[in-house]
Structure formats: structure tokens, C-alpha cells
């Protein structure tokens, strides 16, 4: 059993036993609050946070973003966790002129309350249209209560989003009549929002005291420290200077021109094209003149060569050039009876070419003696035709 002490005693325990649990009432505080002071550095910057009462914080933030256009300021969403790339659902940063930012931040709570009150009143009219119109009765026949709650939530959100586009001192003024009950209201929330926008008076919700207090408490941002510009590593201070630098002439290479950008002395495209055509014509005429001079010099040189040359020329046919003897000076590896090879560098006798005669043999040179190969056999005289006849006759007798 838990002991009750002075530290965990509920001060309203007796009232709960007598009167029962009292349900929490609806939220009646401001729907938007400013965070910190407005900073002015050329443009004013202020952070606004909307309230999430009734779990409508996202809808109120979207309405504030659309209301900013009617007040001439810009909005930017705030990151709750920059590393995780997670946006803050209820925070919004406002930027613009200091007076415009102060007025928008002061009017935003009243504007949101007026827009939500108009949306609540329009939801009652939509319920009456659903009950009494033919379109609403037909829709009720095919849909249940759960579908109606879902459709009502979506319709209210769309109505607030479109209504915020036509609220503000600089918002467009559109005079649109309220649609008749014979039309389908579920499909035209934008048209109904345009007809309801004139009912919201921005001057009635304007808070001059809060606007003046925000502007009086504004702080001027500290001047930014301008670091000295480091000296350029190149000869040019920036890339722009390097691109648009004048022409430079190289003294070492002669007429070579290095340019870093367009020629400032260049004429129009037509004059440039005409100059190019003239240069092409002059170049072609110079080439033709050089070709004619070379041809005339070649004809005179051929006329001076009257006697034919007797020595073989490089351009002579293959039959007039001696064939090189590549076999004579070749280095080959000769395999002998030894297990390793030896290199032979002596030249072989020149091979005979086709049509060359064999050198004559001397008659007094003795034939080389044959080497005995074994036992000596008696030579058998050759058999002639007389011997064959005699042998046949003896066999017949």
C-alpha cells in the first residue's frame, strides 16, 4: 500500500471527491506567439510559433504561410534538428521590412482566431446543406457517419487554406457570391472561401500596442566582421579579370597572341565575315602563285638532265639492284654432339644463284677412298644376255 506524504499529496483531492473530475476546458489563449526579439539587419527577422491546440498546429502553420503574402512578408520554415533534416511543425521564421514584420506578428493571433471562427460557422452551414439539400441527402445515402467525419475534417482544412489567401491588406479582393444549395458544396471549398473572405476585417483584429512593442524591442544585429581579402595567387585578382584581360603579345615567340577573352576591337559579325572572305581569297591566290613557281622550277631542272646516269639509282627497278647477302653474315646457333650449343660466327660460302655454272672438276683428282664397313665380300660379275641364254639352255637339258 502506497503511503501518502506531504510531497505527493494532491491539493485538489478533496475537491475531486466532492465535485468529481472537472474536464479541461477549450484552449482560450493566443494561437501564435513570438519568440525572442526582432532582429534588424537591413531586413527584419522574427520567429513565430503557432499553438497546437486541438492538434491543428500544422494547419495553422500553413495558414500563417499563406497570410504572409497578404502582408508583404516572406516566411521560411525552421528546422528542429538540422542534422536529421527534421522540420519544426509549429515554428516559422518571418522576413521582410521591419514595420511589415511587426504588424504581421501582432495581427497573426487575431487573424488565426477569426479564420477558425469563420471555419466553425461555415461547418454548421455545411451540416445544414447536407441535411436539407438534394446533393447532401444523396451523399448521405451512400456514405456513413465515419465517411462524413473524414470528409468534414478534410473540407475544413481546405477551407482554411483557401480563406487565408484572400485575407490581408495586400491580398486580392475578389467579389464572389455564395453558391446556391442546388450546387455540390463538397467540391467547391475554394469558391465558398472567396465568398467568406470579406467577412473578416483585418482592422478589427489589429493590435497597435503589440505592434509598437515589437518594433520598440527590436535589436540591431552586430556588424559583420569583414575579413581582409587575401592577396591573389595569380596575376589577376579574380576570374572575371582573367577572362576579360586585354591581349598579350609574347616577345619570345614572335607573332603568337594569347587572349583571355573576346577582342574588344573586333567589329560586327558582318565585317568579320567579309574580312575572313578577303583573307581566304588572298591566301588562295598566293598558293596558286607558289604552285606555278614550283612547277616551272621542276621543268627547268628536268631539262638540264640530258645524260642518263650509269650507276644504279635508288629508284631503279629490282633487277638492276644487287640482292643483299644476308645469309653470309648471319649469326646462328649450331647444335653439335655436345649437350650445349655453340655460336658460330664464320661465314658460309656464297650460295649459287640460278643460272650460275658449277665450277669444273679436275680429272686428275682421285676419288675419295671409301671407308670399310665390315667383312669383304667377293664381287659377282654382272650378268649379261649371253649368260642368261646359256643358263636357260643348261636348265632345259
Mean pLDDT computed over 59-76: 94
Reference 348, options 334, 324, 335, 329; nearest CA is 329
**Where are the strands (E) in 133-224, listed by range?**
219-220
Helix (H) or strand (E) holding 355: none
- DSSP labels for 165-232? TT-STTS-----PPPPTTS-GGG-HHHHHHHHGGG--TTTS--HHHHHHHHHT-EEPPPPP-PPPPPP
Residue 323 pLDDT > 70? no
Could you tell me which residue, 84 or 53, shows the higher pLDDT? 53
Confidence category of residue 200, pLDDT binned at 50, 70, 90: very high
What is the Cα–Cα distance from 81 to 346, expressed in whole angstroms? 92
pLDDT at 139: 92
pLDDT on residue 243? 77
Confidence of residue 296 (pLDDT cuts 50, 70, 90): confident
Statement: residue 88 has pLDDT above 70: yes
> In the predicted model, is pLDDT for residue 295 greater than 60?
yes
Lowest-confidence segment of 78-87, 214-223, 260-269 by average pLDDT: 260-269
Predicted local confidence at residue 289, as pLDDT: 81
**pLDDT for 393:** 45
pLDDT at 77 over 70: yes
pLDDT band at 355; cut points 50, 70, 90: low
Tell me the average pLDDT across 233-256: 66
Tell me the chain's radius of gyration from C-alpha atoms: 58
Q: What pLDDT is stored for residue 297 in this prediction? A: 72
191 three-class SS: helix
Residue in the block written with cell 581579402: 229
Average pLDDT of 63-76?
94
* Segment 389-395 mean pLDDT: 46
pTM over 0.75: no
**What is the model's pLDDT at position 330?**
55
d(CA 127, CA 41): 50
Q: Which three cell numbers stand for residue 148?
A: 462524413
Please report the pLDDT score of residue 112 as a whole number. Answer: 95
211 within 8 A of 102, measured Cβ to Cβ: yes
Average pLDDT, the chain: 76
Of 1-5, 110-114, 364-368, 392-396, which has the strongest mean pLDDT? 110-114
pLDDT at 241 over 70: yes
Q: What is the pLDDT of residue 389?
A: 46
Whether residue 212 has pLDDT greater than 90 = yes
Residue 30, pLDDT > 80, answer yes
State the pLDDT at residue 15.
Answer: 72
pLDDT for 3 beyond 70: no
The predicted model gives 149-169 an average pLDDT of 94
Highest mean pLDDT of the ranges 135-149, 246-260, 334-348, 356-370: 135-149
Q: Is 117 helix (H, G, I), strand (E, B) or coil?
A: helix
Percent with pLDDT over 90 in the chain = 37
What cell was used for 34? 513570438
Cβ atoms < 10 Å from Cβ of 157: 17
Q: Which residue has the cell 503589440?
A: 210
SS3 category, 345: coil
Q: Is the pLDDT of residue 1 over 50?
A: no
pLDDT for 302 equals: 64
Residue 9: predicted pLDDT? 72
Higher-confidence residue of 273 and 123: namely: 123
* Stretch 231-249: mean pLDDT: 70
Mean pLDDT confidence for 196-217 = 92
Amino acid at each position: 500500500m502506497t503511503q501518502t506524504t506531504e510531497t505527493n499529496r494532491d491539493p485538489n483531492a478533496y475537491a475531486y471527491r466532492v465535485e468529481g473530475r472537472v474536464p479541461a476546458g477549450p484552449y482560450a489563449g493566443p494561437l501564435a506567439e513570438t519568440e525572442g526579439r526582432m532582429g534588424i539587419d537591413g531586413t527584419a527577422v522574427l520567429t513565430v510559433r503557432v499553438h497546437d491546440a486541438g492538434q491543428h498546429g500544422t494547419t495553422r502553420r500553413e495558414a500563417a504561410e499563406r497570410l504572409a503574402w497578404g502582408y508583404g512578408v516572406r516566411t521560411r520554415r525552421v528546422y528542429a534538428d538540422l542534422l536529421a533534416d527534421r522540420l519544426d511543425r509549429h515554428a516559422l521564421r518571418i522576413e521582410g521590412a521591419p514595420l511589415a514584420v511587426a504588424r504581421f506578428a501582432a495581427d497573426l493571433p487575431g487573424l488565426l482566431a477569426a479564420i477558425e471562427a469563420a471555419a466553425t460557422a461555415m461547418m454548421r452551414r455545411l451540416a445544414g446543406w447536407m441535411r436539407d439539400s438534394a446533393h447532401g441527402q444523396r451523399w448521405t445515402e451512400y456514405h456513413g457517419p465515419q465517411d462524413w467525419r473524414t470528409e468534414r475534417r478534410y473540407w475544413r482544412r481546405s477551407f482554411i487554406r483557401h480563406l487565408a489567401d484572400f485575407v490581408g491588406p495586400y491580398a486580392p479582393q475578389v467579389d464572389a457570391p455564395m453558391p446556391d444549395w442546388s450546387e455540390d458544396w463538397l467540391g467547391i471549398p475554394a469558391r465558398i472561401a472567396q465568398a467568406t473572405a470579406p467577412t473578416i476585417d483585418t482592422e478589427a483584429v489589429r493590435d497597435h500596442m503589440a505592434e509598437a512593442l515589437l518594433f520598440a524591442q527590436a535589436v540591431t544585429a552586430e556588424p559583420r566582421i569583414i575579413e581582409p581579402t587575401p592577396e591573389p595567387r595569380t596575376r589577376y585578382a579574380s576570374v572575371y579579370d582573367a577572362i576579360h584581360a586585354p591581349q598579350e603579345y609574347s616577345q619570345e615567340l614572335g607573332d603568337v597572341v594569347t587572349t583571355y577573352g573576346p577582342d574588344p576591337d573586333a567589329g560586327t559579325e558582318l565585317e568579320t565575315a567579309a574580312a575572313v572572305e578577303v583573307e581566304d581569297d588572298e591566301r588562295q591566290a598566293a598558293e596558286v602563285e607558289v604552285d606555278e613557281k614550283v612547277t616551272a622550277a621542276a621543268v627547268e631542272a628536268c631539262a638540264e638532265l640530258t645524260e642518263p646516269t650509269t650507276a644504279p639509282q635508288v629508284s631503279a627497278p629490282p633487277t638492276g639492284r644487287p640482292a643483299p647477302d644476308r645469309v653470309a653474315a648471319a649469326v646462328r646457333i649450331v647444335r653439335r654432339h655436345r649437350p650445349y650449343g655453340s655460336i658460330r660466327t664464320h661465314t658460309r660460302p656464297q650460295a649459287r644463284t640460278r643460272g650460275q655454272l658449277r665450277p669444273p672438276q679436275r680429272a686428275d683428282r682421285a676419288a675419295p677412298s671409301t671407308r670399310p664397313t665390315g667383312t669383304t665380300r667377293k664381287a659377282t660379275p654382272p650378268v649379261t644376255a649371253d649368260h642368261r641364254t646359256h643358263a636357260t639352255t643348261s636348265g632345259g637339258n
